[in-house]
Copies of this chain bind each other. A is one copy, B any other.
Amino acid sequence: MKKLINSPETVVDEMLDGMVAAHPEYVRRLEGTQVLVRADAPVDGAVAVVSGGGSGHEPSHAGYLGEGMLAGAAAGEVFTSPTADEFEAMIREVDGGEGVLCVVKNYEGDVMNFDTAAEMAEMEGVEVRQVVVDDDVAVEDSLYTSGRRGVAGTVLVHKCAGAKAAAGGSLDEVAEVAEKVVDNVGTMGTALTSCVTPEKGEPTFDLGDDEIELGIGIHGEPGVERTEHTSADEITEHLTERVLEDLDLDDGQEVVTIVNGMGGTPLMELYVVNRRLQELMDDHGLETWDAWVGDYMTSLDMMGCSVTVCAVDDELKELLAAPADTPALTR
């Protein structure tokens, strides 16, 4: 499988340099690390929201660095958690005196290393909170996770927590809105093809020409069910129904939806999925307040998508609509 890279060993490092070269007004690299922070970090007097994890999910997370979203993003090697040292260096760099909220996708490596980093940073006098995102409704436990996985819904946590921090929220308040998003969001994904990691150079699971995987994660792990490839409408129905079963929303509830591309899926197809998704929202008596369509949390070059639904109230709507100025998301 061909890739536009120089070598598996240098791809993350070179990607980070390429991001800084593209967006020097937004991001800078913390010397000697794979951590990117907001160009103007630390922002004195504001809570800093940070995230991070293995690479391969671009634009997550460094694409969301900037005003109104993230203050720091630590990049591990592909699908591999950054070290606790890198997380700690990030936390200390971005602290503006009001504390740091870590938004952690629920993978064992990330959770463990963020935990250690938080302890280390606290010993240095930085107040740290963590919120673990586990929006994937497909599985309870999986290859890399106890409990549910954190996937595309994480970006909504970045947006809301970042907006609350920008509005002067305290660390408690920022953590509280992050938890509110986590409590109200569900996601499920499908793969038409496996991703190909730079290291391995071939698909991480085999999938026939007429098969798809339902309930996939974002690390090349197979899904929970393999089924015959079918129409976009049927796939959308399956994903959406599973998410809605999990959320169990009241009639008339306002929601934000995401059709998230996995990296190799054309935008054309994501809009076809969104068409059916919005019909289903109508059928269920739900009111779509905003619909996101695009690549937010990818899995390298995987073809496929995930559907996210998040119930929103006035507070979350205000935070979602608040200004954000980042390479990958602007409001």
Contact = CB atoms under 8 A, between A and B. Distances in A.
Interface of A: 1-7, 11, 14-19, 21-23, 55-56, 58-59, 63, 192-193, 209-210, 212, 229, 231-233, 235, 259, 263-276, 278, 291-293, 295, 298, 300-301, 303-305, 330-331
A234 B56 CA distance: 22
Nearest to A331: B330
A4 B291 contact: no
A1 B193 CA distance: 10
Contacts of A18: 270-276, 278, 293
Nearest to A1: B209
B301 A271 contact: no
B235 A4 contact: yes
Contact of A6 (B229, B232, B331): B232
Contacts of A58: 266-268, 271
Given A22-B274, A266-B298, 20 more contacts: A2-B193, A3-B232, A3-B269, A4-B232, A4-B272, A14-B275, A15-B272, A18-B278, A18-B293, A21-B274, A21-B275, A21-B291, A22-B259, A22-B271, A22-B291, A55-B268, A59-B267, A264-B303, A265-B301, A330-B331
A301 B22 contact: no
A240 B279 CA distance: 45
Contacts of A301: 264-266, 303
Max chain B C-beta neighbours (<10 A), residue from A18, A19, A55, A305: A18
Contacts of A259: 22
Stoichiometry, as copies per complex, reads: 2
A266 B22 CA distance: 16
B11 A268 contact: yes
Contacts of A298: 266-267
A6 to B, nearest CB: 5
Closest 5 CB pairs of A and B: A18-B271, A18-B275, A330-B330, A4-B269, A58-B267
Given A22-B293, A58-B266, A305 B4 contact: yes
A42 to B, nearest CB: 25
Contact of A209 (B2, B22, B276, B304): B2
A17 B279 CA distance: 11
Nearest to A78: B268
A271 B15 contact: yes
Of A259, A265, A293, A298, chain B has the most CB atoms within 10 Å of the CB of: A293
23 contacts: A1-B209, A2-B229, A4-B269, A4-B273, A5-B231, A11-B272, A14-B271, A18-B271, A18-B273, A18-B274, A19-B274, A19-B293, A21-B291, A22-B291, A22-B292, A22-B293, A58-B268, A264-B264, A265-B301, A266-B298, A266-B300, A267-B295, A330-B330
